[in-house]
Structure 1
Amino acid sequence: MRFMPRRHGVSLFIFLVVLLDVVGLRTARADEKPQCVAASEKAQKLRIAGRLSEARAELATCGRIECPKLVQQDCSEWMREVLAILPSVVLGAKDQDGRDIVDAKVSIDGKVVTESLDGKAVAVDPGVHLFRFETQGAPAVEEKVVVRQGEKNRILTVTFATGPAEGEAPSGMKHSKQDGSAPIAAFVTGGIGLAALGAALYIDLDANADARNLRKTCAPSCEQSQVDDVENRYVIAGVTAALGGAALIAGVVLFFTHDRAVKSGASRFMPFGRSLSHGGLAGAGFQF
């Protein structure tokens, strides 16, 4: 019987501890009640406005066990409805060779949502959004997308263009230089043709002068070597004129078709021609 008071003391202590816990819990729940009710009301307004992501956060607050049971039940039901209609997108990025890019930062309407791509879905409110993808070594890519209510796991993949290396001209400047190479080739080719025609004219006129001199001085008993020399120059003048004409025509063709020539690489030409027997630019020959 000497131990009975101690047992009563232990029981009293346990009773006081439980009582304090209950009172504290009720006090805590009483303090949570205004916050729960406010979160519930705010969630309703956000849900009606289509701001489902924010509504989901508020519903998580008012759906806690600390909130009044009626508020908790309503918020849990609304949470299920919001999750059912909250859209989501799966973000992806590739390079020009079709390989996945992992180290890419993505912003939605100016707010960063991820620093890398891992294939997981990202919840997005319904409506029009601007997605911006950024990665090192390439220009940023922006896509304006209409996200539909209830749309789940929509695949959104962009392709990054290869950026210019350090010290390298931008792609637009490189195209300009390439486009300008064809007219230069046309001018050079045409210039060679004109020079060849000029040389052929000079040789032909020189041969004609020697031929007239032979007629006046020794025809018809001129030495064969003298006659052969004049005839050879007529042949040279004819071949040179043919090649010059071909080069001039090729230059004109290159000038008017330089865009296609650059793209296909067909900026070469093959001169052609044939010698004219006993004739040059004048197209006449003679016999001694």
Structure 2
Amino acid sequence: MNQRTARRSLVAAAAVAALACLQPARARAADAEACFTASEEGQRLRDDGHLRDARARFIACGAAACPALVRSDCAGWLSDVTARVPTLILSAQDEQGQDVADVQVTLDGARLAARLDGKAVEVDPGEHVLRFERAGSAPVALRLVVREGEKLRRVSARLARPATARAGAATPGGGAVAPGGGAIAPREDEAASPPASSLLLPIALGGVAAAGGVAYAALGLSARADADRLRTTCAPRCAEADVDAVRTKVIAANVAFGVGVAALGGAVAALLLRGPMPAAPAAAVHVVPLPGGVAAALGARF
């Protein structure tokens, strides 16, 4: 080997050694740059309220490959963010109030849980919409505001079959038959509505009360007119038959009035006793004795 060949071999060996030294330095520089980037992104995400993503960045910049100063800062930020991440415990019940697990939950449209297992799940703070979905049940959406540092907050949803599935066929008792043959209770508005036949008695008594009022008015006015005529024509020597006729009308008017008041009271009692009534006003009849008769007043409270 001549001198030129030897010299070339030494130069090549030196170049290879220099490259071998530069490769780890370049890798370390790239790792350090990634650490600084993760640190900056983590701080930005934390300040924007994306605590879960910020925590992942702080874990990355706290790795052993990062510079010691960066690792120290990221370790402190990681501890702070971990304490601030809220957690929820999700649960759901069926129509009978029994816990169900085959429920999918989404958070603002993104899947949060494929199945309910009773374990706490982490979410970011802020306003969210939780949607519970289960096969055969109508989905339930819940809007809630989650606060930083809120841990183990319980959120539950009651899942029921869709209204179309509950319709079914009518049963003799007024309920409905479910697709599986089970009975579904009547709706609350149906149960509160009394049958039309229960209105017959109040209507009939109301008619009697109205007729009694008309008779009282007619007989009373007639008796007063006859009495005024006797006073101006023959009093105090009027025929006994004429006086008895006036007295008979007064008595009949009072009887008609009493019958009307009694019928009115019976109609009100029948309305109050016939069953549940939506927003029924409370009514009362007041009877006051007067000279030569009685007076009545109907009061209601709304």
1:286 paired residue number: none
Paired residues of 2:202 and 2:271 also in contact (CA < 8 A)? no
Pairwise CA distance, 1:55: 0.8
2:276 paired residue number: 260
CA distance in 1, matches of 2:166, 2:118: 35
Q: TM-score, normalised by structure 2?
A: 0.51
| Alpha-carbon distance change, 173 to 94 in structure 1, aligned in 2, over 3 angstroms | closer
CA distance in 1, matches of 2:59, 2:270: 72
Q: Specify which structure has the bigger relative contact order, considering alpha-carbon pairs within 8 angstroms and separated by 6 or more residues.
A: 1
Over aligned residue pairs, what C-alpha RMSD do you find?
A: 3.9
Unpaired runs of 5+ residues, structure 1, are 1-15, 194-249, 263-288
Per-residue deviation, residues 225-280 of structure 1 (Å, max 9, x unmatched)? xxxxxxxxxxxxxxxxxxxxxxxxx9998888776289xxxxxxxxxxxxxxxxxx
Residue pairs, 1:61-72, within 5 angstroms: 61-72=60-71
2:119 paired residue number: 120
What SS is found at the alignment partner of 1:128?
Answer: strand
| Alpha-carbon distance change, 260 to 105 in structure 1, aligned in 2, over 3 angstroms | same
Paired residues of 1:56 and 1:79 also in contact (CA < 8 A)? yes
| Alpha-carbon distance change, 121 to 71 in structure 1, aligned in 2, over 3 angstroms | same
What SS is found at the alignment partner of 1:260?
Answer: coil
2:103 paired residue number: 104
Pairwise CA distance, 1:116: 0.7
Per-residue deviation, residues 36-66 of structure 1 (Å, max 9, x unmatched)? 2111111112212222112112212222222
Pairwise CA distance, 1:78: 0.8
Residue pairs, 1:88-237, within 5 angstroms: 88-164=87-163, 166=165, 168=167, 182-186=194-198
CA distance in 2, matches of 1:131, 1:29: 44
Q: TM-score, normalised by structure 1?
A: 0.53
1:85 paired residue number: 84
CA distance in 1, matches of 2:137, 2:147: 30
Paired residues of 2:62 and 2:72 also in contact (CA < 8 A)? yes
| Alpha-carbon distance change, 188 to 101 in structure 1, aligned in 2, over 3 angstroms | same
Amino acid in the other structure paired with 1:29: R
What SS is found at the alignment partner of 2:43?
Answer: helix
Pairwise CA distance, 1:110: 2.1
Paired residues of 2:192 and 2:276 also in contact (CA < 8 A)? no
| Alpha-carbon distance change, 251 to 105 in structure 1, aligned in 2, over 3 angstroms | farther
Aligned-pair identity in percent equals 34
| Alpha-carbon distance change, 23 to 100 in structure 1, aligned in 2, over 3 angstroms | farther
Amino acid in the other structure paired with 2:152: N
Pairwise CA distance, 1:178: 5.5
Unpaired runs of 5+ residues, structure 2, are 1-15, 169-175, 177-183, 205-265, 279-302
Amino acid in the other structure paired with 1:98: G
Range 62-71 or range 23-32, more displaced: 23-32
Paired residues of 1:108 and 1:130 also in contact (CA < 8 A)? yes
Paired residues of 1:186 and 1:252 also in contact (CA < 8 A)? no
Amino acid in the other structure paired with 2:107: I
What SS is found at the alignment partner of 2:116?
Answer: coil
CA distance in 2, matches of 1:185, 1:26: 97
What SS is found at the alignment partner of 1:80?
Answer: helix
Q: How many residues align?
A: 189
Residue pairs, 1:23-42, within 5 angstroms: 24-42=23-41
Residue pairs, 1:272-287, within 5 angstroms: none
Per-residue deviation, residues 115-157 of structure 1 (Å, max 9, x unmatched)? 1111121111222222221112222222222222112122222
Residue pairs, 1:16-27, within 5 angstroms: 24-27=23-26
CA distance in 1, matches of 2:270, 2:65: 83
